[in-house]
Amino acid sequence: MNAIFAIIRRDLLLAMRRKSEVLTAVFFFVIVVSLFPLGIGPEPALLRKIAPGVLWVAALLATMLGLQRMFAPDHHDGTLEQMVLSPTPLGLLVGGKIAAHWLLSGLPLVLLAPVLGLQFGLDADALGVLMLALLLGTPLLSLIGAIGAALTLGLRGGGVLLSLLVLPLYVPALIFGAGAVEAHISGLGAAGHLSLLAALLALAVFFAPWATTAALRIALE
């Protein structure tokens, strides 16, 4: 277990020392979400209607920004080889990498979402549902993204391929995540959507590190 916490601590430390990478994704999220109300105009009903979709699409794209660098620096400087050769199972180490990625790219989005949601005239309850949906959904984005990042590791033009590979897999998270907020606003209750999102997350927590590990081993051959 120590090795996993060491990986998380190291990745957070590295992010602290090169802040620009983390901040880029966060600023991207803030700016994209803020541009919509400015572009569409002050129509409260319309803004409330598009808010969940806009926030979720922006969250997907913001997560995509840092995805390619999830394993690339470790691959480049040989740390990945040492991770494969570590006595700790690679799946657990990869779990640590994914956790660190979520802490750096997912958690800030969850915390910022309610502030940005205010621009769209969402009420407090809807903002709560939005946060909960993002709390369940953003780890899912990191987990699925890790598979794509590992599969495209070391490829030329891997960035474009990564988007083509990962964005379709993000569709269920987008539908249920944005759907939860919409269902809440229309009075249907968000429980159904949130449970499905949680089920997807449970599935991904189980399978994604395993698939990522297999892809990383292939990349190193």
Partner 1 sequence: MLTAHGLTCVRGERRLFAGIDLAVGPGEWLHVRGENGAGKTSLLRLLVGLMHPAAGEIRWDGAAVGELGDEYRRQMLFLGHHGAVKEELTTLENLHFAAALDGAELPEREALAALHRFGLRGREELPVRFLSAGQKRRVLLARLVTRKARLWVLDEPFTALDVKAVDMLSALIGEHLGGGGMAVLTSHQAMPIAGGRVLQL
Residue 23 touching partner 1 (CB under 8 A): no
Decide: 133 and 181 in contact? Cβ < 8 Å: yes
Pure H helices in the chain = 2-17, 19-40, 44-67, 72-76, 79-84, 90-101, 107-117, 124-151, 158-185, 191-220
CB of 156 to partner 1, least distance (A): 16
Residue 19 touching partner 1 (CB under 8 A): no
Decide: 180 and 190 in contact? Cβ < 8 Å: yes
Whichever of 69 and 76 has its CB closer to partner 1, that residue is 76
d(CA 124, CA 186): 15
Number of residues engaging partner 1 in binding (CB under 8 A)? 25
d(CA 59, CA 208): 20
Residue 85 touching partner 1 (CB under 8 A): yes
Whichever of 15 and 135 has its CB closer to partner 1, that residue is 15
Q: Which two tokens stand for residue 48?
A: 């409330």
Residue 84 touching partner 1 (CB under 8 A): yes
Residue 20 touching partner 1 (CB under 8 A): no
CB within 8 Å of 55: residues ≥ 6 apart = 33, 113, 116, 117, 120, 130, 134, 178
Decide: 56 and 174 in contact? Cβ < 8 Å: yes
CB of 188 to partner 1, least distance (A): 48
Residue 87 touching partner 1 (CB under 8 A): yes
Residue 119 touching partner 1 (CB under 8 A): no
How would you class 66 by CB atoms within 10 Å of its CB: exposed for 0-12, middle for 13-18, buried for 19 or more?
A: buried
Residue 156 touching partner 1 (CB under 8 A): no
Residue 69 touching partner 1 (CB under 8 A): no
Stretch that binds partner 1, among 4-12, 36-44, 55-63, 109-117 (CB under 8 A): 4-12
Residue 153 touching partner 1 (CB under 8 A): no
Side chain identity at 118, as an amino acid letter? Answer: L
CB of 92 to partner 1, least distance (A): 10
Stretch that binds partner 1, among 63-71, 74-82, 103-111, 168-176 (CB under 8 A): 74-82
Contacting residues toward partner 1, per CB under 8 A: 2-3, 6-7, 10, 13-14, 17-18, 76-79, 81-89, 93, 220-221
